[in-house]
Structure 1
């Protein structure tokens, strides 16, 4: 890919927050372009998202494999899933304010695309691919480990599936298992956004949004777990 034009001030500031100076700025511009803003002359980030997911996966698999040499595959797998899932990527994206520089089409901007979990997570993966293509695996590894360091440290706590944890919490108190109710499905058919509400028998409830129903259920369960923990 050619080097292309220089970055805008906002994208240059984002590059600084990310911790990587791009030799080929066009890679970052593409990584931050959602499909809704893509065109024949402005490629979008879906292919980069595919690659970035694999780059992140390799770095996290190697990191976990090296960090705990006695861990079994059954112990490593949930830790890995906690670090690479869309919610984790979206959390990093929010930390470095990726949404502020995300290029979106009009419909996505109107519907709050800069805050959507799925869009942020996908774009974060695309950005990691851009770093990889720009400077190689070691550069991508450095960026990943610098932003995921806190998550790696607390991975055992995060590795527990929120739906399972919420069900165990309810059962320990003699309650029925949580219910998950779909409240809304928004967006185009190729990129839906689900709003799911997790409900406990005692009336407590919380909502989650994501681009897949299962992820929205997990987000709702996580929100409800935080609620009961605070109470």
Structure 2
């Protein structure tokens, strides 16, 4: 409708000796195709913890899982405590070593990609309680993040349900996720119904997915379900999953 009206305006301008052709051509000019994340050079994993994500456990009232990534060769640790109004919790934080897997992956952007993947489960938590935590090792730590455990009795709760983020993840799909959190900032968790990315082996696309949620993924547990785009050949999930 907008294009039709522009042509009608162009015809009217032509009758008056105006630049009808130039106006029509300006409207028809296509926008450049966005550069796909998988076409960009790959960025190496860093010593600073990245791609931090909370995951629910079988008992979310008493335990919470967390995973993150760093450069290879580094160990990992999680520190956590009950949240207080000030920073005094730091002195009494519980320290727990993470399980670390140094991996060499074949990704779309490079023949070999090296990174250390860390995972830990924070246990002994109290129900319906806010906790703070950070991950890292040595001199490299995340900011202090926080989450709330589930109640140990049946209580109403809210959750977010996300469909295929998949394409233009950071530039466009992130908007839906972030508006969802504006509407339901107290969501207990987020379900992702598969196809988080478009190309299963693109580290850049996985990076965009994590960037789209940023600290939100690190403070609200995520429940992703793999779709067909998370699989490579046959019934095998891509290792980055």
Same fold (TM over 0.5): no
With normalisation by structure 2, the TM-score equals 0.24
With normalisation by structure 1, the TM-score equals 0.25
| Larger Rg over CA atoms | 2
- Bigger strand fraction: 2
